[in-house]
């Protein structure tokens, strides 16, 4: 048994191209290019929405639903900051993620970074998944 996948979460600050954080077309292109470059498949999106309010609320949120899981970006143009999240059952190269973010957003500082292995004990092969399901189903029936 292995873990299900990796989840990368970033908070970036001091984004040099702050205008890109408020541009639907740039954000959509960034999301599509990023997941394609790390070899993932888009099932739905990108969906980009706008939130109005003060500097701590206003910005854009974008999401892609992937065959491998999801990717999300939340921007705060007035602050020059963003949060990025990629969760995938397929391994990916973090340096490709950072290079693509830099290409679209310019220079920035990574203020927070977390790379977490999610789904410990998740069966990776169909046979193992079927056995796991049978065990759980049998245990529930016997309870």
Please give the full DSSP string across 117-138, using - where no structure is assigned. EESTTB--SHHHHHHHHHHHHH
Residue 79 domain boundaries:
5-142
What is the 8-class DSSP label of residue 112? E
pTM check: above 0.85 = no
What is the 8-class DSSP label of residue 2? B
Give counts: helices (H), strands (E), the chain.
3, 6
- The answer to which of 12-16, 47-51, 114-118 has the lowest mean pLDDT is 114-118
What is the 8-class DSSP label of residue 22? G
pLDDT (average), residues 100-129: 82
How many domains does the structure of the chain reveal? 1
Write out pLDDT tens, residues 23-50: 999 999 999 999 999 999 999 999 999 9
The pLDDT value given to residue 140:
57
Assign residue 126 the CATH number of its domain: 3.60.90.10
pLDDT (average), residues 77-105: 95
Helix (H, G, I), strand (E, B) or coil at 101: helix
pLDDT (average), residues 40-64: 92
């Amino acid at each position: 048994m292995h873990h299900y996948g990796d989840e990368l979460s970033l908070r970036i600050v001091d984004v040099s191209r702050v205008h890109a954080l408020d541009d639907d077309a740039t954000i959509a292109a960034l999301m599509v290019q990023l997941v394609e470059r790390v070899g993932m498949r888009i099932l739905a999106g990108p969906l980009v929405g706008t939130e109005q309010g003060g500097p701590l609320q206003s910005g854009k949120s974008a999401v892609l639903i992937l065959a491998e899981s999801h990717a999300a970006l939340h921007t705060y143009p007035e602050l020059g900051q963003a949060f990025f999240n990629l969760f995938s059952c397929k391994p990916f190269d973090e340096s490709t993620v950072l290079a693509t973010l830099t290409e679209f957003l310019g220079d920035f500082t990574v203020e927070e970074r977390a790379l977490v292995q999610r789904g410990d004990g998740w069966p990776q092969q169909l046979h193992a998944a079927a056995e796991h399901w049978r065990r759980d189903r049998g245990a529930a029936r016997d309870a």
